[in-house]
Structure 1
Amino acid sequence: MPFLCRSFILWGFILLTNIFFRTDSSKRIMSVVARQGIKYSIIGYLGFLLGTFSAIFIFPYDMEFYGKLRYILPTAEMIVPIVVFGLSFSNVKFFSKVNADGRHHNMLSLSLLAVVVNFLIFTGGYFVVNLLFPQLQKTELWEMKRLILPMVLVLALSSVFNKFLTNYKRIVVPNIFENFIPKLANLGAFCLFFFLGFAEKTAYGFFFLMFLMSLLGYGYYTNRLEKIKPDFGVNYFKKDNFYREIFTYSLFGFLGNIGNYIAIRIDNFMIGEFISFEENGIYSNIFSIISIIVVPQMGLFNISAPIINKVLITGDYRELDRFHKKTSLSLFFLGLVLFCCIVVGFPYLADFMKNGEDLRSSEPVLWILGFAMLFDLATGFNGHIISLSRYYKFNIVVMLILAVLTISLNMIFLKKTNLGILGIAIAYAISLSLFNIIKIVFNYWKFKVFPLGIEMIYAMILGCLSINVAIFLPDFKLNIINLFYKPAVVLILLFIGNHFLKIYPLDKYLNKSFIKSLFRF
């Protein structure tokens, strides 16, 4: 695994540089974007290393407790969009205007206040509903409400800070709070409970404290970039009914975002509520391993959002299409390399894990989730184009359809089949793929931008051949050798194939000046 991770990071450095090869007029901006995007990926990979170490050597000791931890956070994250109400996105959409008028801190202050008010309203409504319908008090959500509800508030406030910081083209430090801290929280809480013998409540307390520290870190870092000036005045937003424009955008952002969160987070909720916490632990373990292929995605999307917004304002759709294609190919090719290495090494990796036979028996879940994520990478930042354009209301329709479809498919596979977590994985793959297809069609219709290219087909064929060659190669008696040499064969074949097929121009992006710039914060 160390060899693979070093290879993944090297490929991440190389592949992501292509998306930032721009004209002279925007080189400085793209240089910042490139450095931030790649540093983001480094943090992501470090987080992955920690998560992989935990998944292999720690969490398998008690899948049930790990399943509980993986139920708490996704459940809280599904509620967050209700509390945030799209305000985090409004802090990006309207930043140029409010910043020009010197009111960006005014908007930030009011957004944070609104989140607190929304949380109080939601919490009151939640308790009223549970009192009116006592059967709801039999759910795991009700049992864990004392932890999940405070988590919602902390995550909601953190979400506003996170999006606000993207306006400064700074995503590296926030990524530590967003990606690295949750893994430390999981690991620390698990070790306190299982290895040190503390009570579950103590472990949960540590878990919550880590996210509270992240929120404080967001506030400190924001203040460090530009001193925060709390301003809760509303006169600026009353002028010309500007608040109505913000409210409308936030409303539609909320309706769209909640569907997205449901689609992404509902798996752990459904498994925890309807199957078992142990199965939730197994599913989460597999999901965390395969998720390495999407590590660079969020960093790129966060840092690209202001750039996409600017291009949409100018109406330069040809430049948007070029940027879209290069970004999508970069993400897809990197994701494919990682996917190929993971699937050929997973059977041997499972042999080194406690209760690895349970993970090995669920290997089809790995393949299904992996293919769904690869297609998601291939479609690039489709959603960002829509959400930042004047057609952002379309996201409501798409996201709500996605939410209904995801819930329906999960219930069908849970109630009508005996597939268990495999059925949940299939439901996830179908929903995510249909969701991306709808966005591709819409963006081509409205903007004439299309993320897919013939290079992706060549890459997919090359990846399939590499996987089959590695699988059919003879196994050594020692699985530790198989774990390293088969993924290494895949990497070699992909490098050789790419050299002859010219899928991705790696040789153009191996320059010393750019690599040196990665170490300037």
Structure 2
Amino acid sequence: MSVIARQGFKYSIIGYLGFLLGTLSAIFIFPYNMEFYGKLRYIMPMAEIILPIVVFGLSYSNVKFFFSTKNDNKHQNLLSLSLIAVCINFLIFIAGFFIAAYFFPELKVTQLWKMKMMILPLVLVLGLSTVFNKYISNFKRIVVPNILDNVLPKIANLGAFFLFFFLAFPEKIALFFFFGMFVLGLIAYYIYTNKLEKFTPNFSTSYFKKDKLYKQIFNYSFYGFLGNIGTYIALRIDNVMIGDYLGFQENGVYSTLLAIISLISIPSMGLYAISAPLINKHLELKEYEELDVFHKKTSLTLFFLGLVLFSCICVGFPFLTSLMKNGELLKQAEPVIWILGISMLFDLATGFNGYVISLSKFYKFSTFVMVILAVVTIALNLYFIKNTNLGLMGIALATGISLTLYNIIKIIFNYVKFKVQPFTIEMIYASIIGSLGITVAVMLPDFKSNLINLFYKPAFVLILFLVGNHFLKIFPLEKYLNKEFIKSIFKF
């Protein structure tokens, strides 16, 4: 079995473990003190919104230009200069931040200013870690970075909360532990990079001055920065706006629902990360037919797995809420699950269309569209909050509409430029099975025990998918349910 399959499968397992840790914590632990949990939920998203300014797209340049720089044995040179550039960008941002506070005193009354001693250093640590993360993906190794990127933040949240609430440590000590976990993560990134290939820092700029390669890197990084900041705003602005306009309780409800439905997209993160170098190679060699085949296979895989999980979540969610603290609040917001879930499914069905654009010579278009997405998302959020009484459902609609429009634009662009598109007839077959499974499962009689209902209805959906897949041959399960593949998973 290929390294891609092994790494992707391990990545997904770790993703699910991280999901369980984060979701179970959000359901059973964090509600004990929503105010402190709200602070933790503010620190990380705010740091992530600032992060693209400091990284400036250099993490993506370490993937885009890895193929060419490695041929000249200058890939570590690129990594070294990227790390230095992140530090310089951070210092420039700090100077600009304090200058802005001097001329605009209203900045000093914001939560960002009050928590700057925690948020700003965290930005630098995350920036350096992000560069290492993307660099490591070139070696088709994504499992360890996934632990550091996906599991470590959840441990930081959980550990800080335990110190503050259950062990009665001062808030500053708990927040220091939170920050310290990310510092440990950065150290782990360096050690793992050095393990994959002896890292010898090289800060010479002569290679990049030749043929003005630095201009290509700067241009690509700049547009990557615009796209990245658009991405973070589009994905993180929900929690910020809910907290500002609807309250922390609603923000907790929305975050919990988002954590539950995000289960369907966990496999995509591993596959996208490991596929980026292969997509880049196909584009460099103009192997568009091979890229189209690869695109369709991965899109079908992601959509099929996502649809199975989405169907199980939909039929089991009402019974899950009855077993949860604050379950009634979650059940009242059930439409959020459907709206976000359907938009995420469409996103999975479109596959890595964003990677095709961002790794091609048309990367500027991807950046332009992402910035538009951020603006549209903010505008829609404001509209639904201020002009309707939809509450959290309005926030979900804003996200779903903007995400769907974004994917439609990318599909059309890729087909026009590369004759590449993700859809297959098998997706229609899978959709029919999923719709039938949800409909029948909802109509099945309910037992008095919600715990039994929670298991038996999703189990029915799973059986229906297995039977339907057996006859329609939608997804090749037999390739992944054999001894060879299982053994390969545990090879290190």
Identify whether the pair has TM-score above 0.5, normalized to the shorter chain. yes
Distance 1:422 1:64 in 2: 23
The one-letter code matched in structure 2 to 1:329 is L
Normalising by structure 2, what TM-score?
A: 0.97
Code of the residue aligned with 2:156 in structure 1: it is A
Q: String of CA shifts for 1:295-327, please: whole Å, max 9, x gaps.
A: 111111111111011111111111111100000
Please identify, of 452-461 and 170-179, the stretch whose mean Cα deviation from structure 2 is larger.
452-461
Aligned match of 2:303 in 321, 332, 354?
332
Counterpart residue number, 1:307:
278
Correspondent of 2:158 among 174, 187, 190: 187
Instruction: Give the partner amino acid of 1:164.
Output: Y
- Counterpart in 1 of 2:93? 122
Could you tell me how far apart the structure 1 residues matched to 2:319 and 2:30 are? 18
Question: What residue number does 1:360 align with?
Answer: 331
Amino acid at match of 1:425: A
SS in 1 for 2:475: coil
- The residue number in structure 1 matching 2:57 is 86
CA apart distance, 1:84: 0.5
Q: Which residue of 2 aligns with 1:260?
A: 231
Return the alpha-carbon distance in structure 2 between the equivalents of residues 54 and 301 of structure 1.
Answer: 27
- Cα distance between partner residues in 2 of 1:142 and 1:423: 29
Q: Distance in 2 between matches of 1:135 and 1:435?
A: 35
User: What does residue range 98-113 of structure 1 map to in structure 2 within 5 Å?
Assistant: 98-113=69-84
Question: Aligned ranges for residues 403-442 of structure 1 at < 5 Å?
Answer: 403-442=374-413
**Aligned counterparts of 1:274 and 1:137: Cα–Cα separation in 2:** 20
Tell me the residue number matched to 1:202: 173
Q: CA deviation at 1:282?
A: 1.5
- Hey, what does 2:38 align to over in structure 1? 67
In the other structure, the counterpart of 1:18 is none
Q: TM-score, normalised by structure 1?
A: 0.92
Farther off after superposition, 353-362 or 292-301: 353-362
Q: Aligned partners of 2:440, 2:491: CA distance in 1, in Å?
A: 41
Structure 2 equivalent of residue 292 of structure 1 = 263
TM-fit CA distance, 1:361 = 1.4
Distance 2:131 2:468 in 1: 44
Equivalent residue in structure 2 for 1:369, among 336, 340, 346: 340
User: Which of 196, 219, 242 is the aligned partner of 1:248?
Assistant: 219
Residue equivalent to 1:446: 417
In the alignment, structure 1 segments of 5+ residues that lack a partner are 1-29
Q: Aligned to 2:2, what secondary structure does the other structure show?
A: helix
How far off its partner does 1:286 sit? Answer: 1.1
Give a deviation string over 1:209-256, Cα, whole Å, max 9, x none.
111111111011001111211111111111111111111111111111
* 2:279 alignment partner AA: I
- Local SS of the residue matching 2:421: coil
Alpha-carbon displacement from aligned partner over 1:373-426 (angstroms, at most 9, x marks no partner): 111111000010001111111112111111111111111122222322222111
How far did residue 332 of structure 1 move?
Answer: 0.5
Letter of the 1:304 counterpart: S
Give the letter for the 1:305 counterpart.
A
Q: Shift of the alpha carbon at 1:206?
A: 1.5
After TM superposition, give the deviation of residue 509 of structure 1 in Å: 4.2
On the 8 A contact 1:56/1:352 being kept in 2, the answer is no
Q: Secondary structure at the match of 1:261?
A: helix
Q: Per-residue deviation at 1:187?
A: 1.3
Residues 119-152 of structure 1, C-alpha deviation per residue, up to 9 Å, x if partnerless?
1111211222222222233332222222111111
Q: CA deviation at 1:510?
A: 3.1
Q: Per the alignment, in what secondary structure is the counterpart of residue 393 of structure 1? A: helix
1:203 Cα offset (Å)? 2.1
Q: CA deviation at 1:462?
A: 1.2
Distance in 1 (alpha carbons) for counterparts of 2:191 and 2:392: 41
Which residue of structure 1 aligns with residue 489 of structure 2? 518
1:373 to 1:99, Cα distance in 2 relative to 1, 3 A: same
Instruction: Report the AA paired with residue 352 of structure 1.
Output: L
Q: Distance in 1 between matches of 2:258 and 2:164?
A: 23
Q: Does 1:344 align with 2:315?
A: yes
- CA deviation map 1:247-272 (0-9, x unaligned): 11111111112111111111112222
* CA RMSD in angstroms, aligned pairs only: 1.4
Q: Which moved more, 1:404-413 or 1:438-447?
A: 404-413
1:459 matched to which residue of 2? Answer: 430
Q: Does 1:46 align with 2:17?
A: yes
The Cα of 1:512 is off from its aligned counterpart by 2.1
- Separation in 2, partners of 1:200, 1:370: 36
**1:226-237 matched pairs, under 5 angstroms:** 226-237=197-208
- Is the 1:64–1:281 Cα contact (8 Å) retained in structure 2? no
Distance 1:414 1:146, change over 3 A: farther
Aligned: 1:381 with 2:355: no
Matched, 1:161 2:160: no
Are the equivalent residues in 2 in contact too, given 1:112–1:160 (CA < 8 A)? yes
1:233 maps to amino acid: S
**Change over 3 Å in CA distance of 1:418–1:197 after alignment to 2:** farther
1:484 to 455, 478, 492: 455
C-alpha displacement of 1:368: 1.1
**How far, CA to CA, are the matches of 2:480 and 2:83 in structure 1?**
42
Q: For 1:178-215, what per-residue CA distance to the aligned partner results, in whole angstroms no more than 9, with x for missing partners?
A: 01111111111222222222233222222111111111
Cα distance in 2 for residues equivalent to 1:91 and 1:287: 31
Letter of the 2:339 counterpart: I
Where 1:487 maps in the other structure, the secondary structure is helix
1:364 positional shift? 1.3
1:368–1:425 contact (8 Å) kept in structure 2: yes
- Quote the sequence identity (%): 67
Between the aligned partners of 1:202 and 1:381, the Cα distance in structure 2 is: 41
Map of 1:142 onto structure 2: 113
Residue 277 (structure 1) shift: 2.2
Which segment drifts farther, 365-374 or 168-177? 365-374
Say if 1:67 and 1:277, in contact at 8 Å, map to a contact too.
Answer: yes
Query: 2 CA distance for matches of 1:40 and 1:340?
Result: 23
2:102 maps to what in 1?
A: 131
In 1, Cα distance between equivalents of 2:267 and 2:194: 26
Partner residue of 1:77?
48
Contact 1:61 1:354 in 2 (8 A): no
Q: For 1:39 and 1:166, how far apart are their aligned partners in 2? A: 14
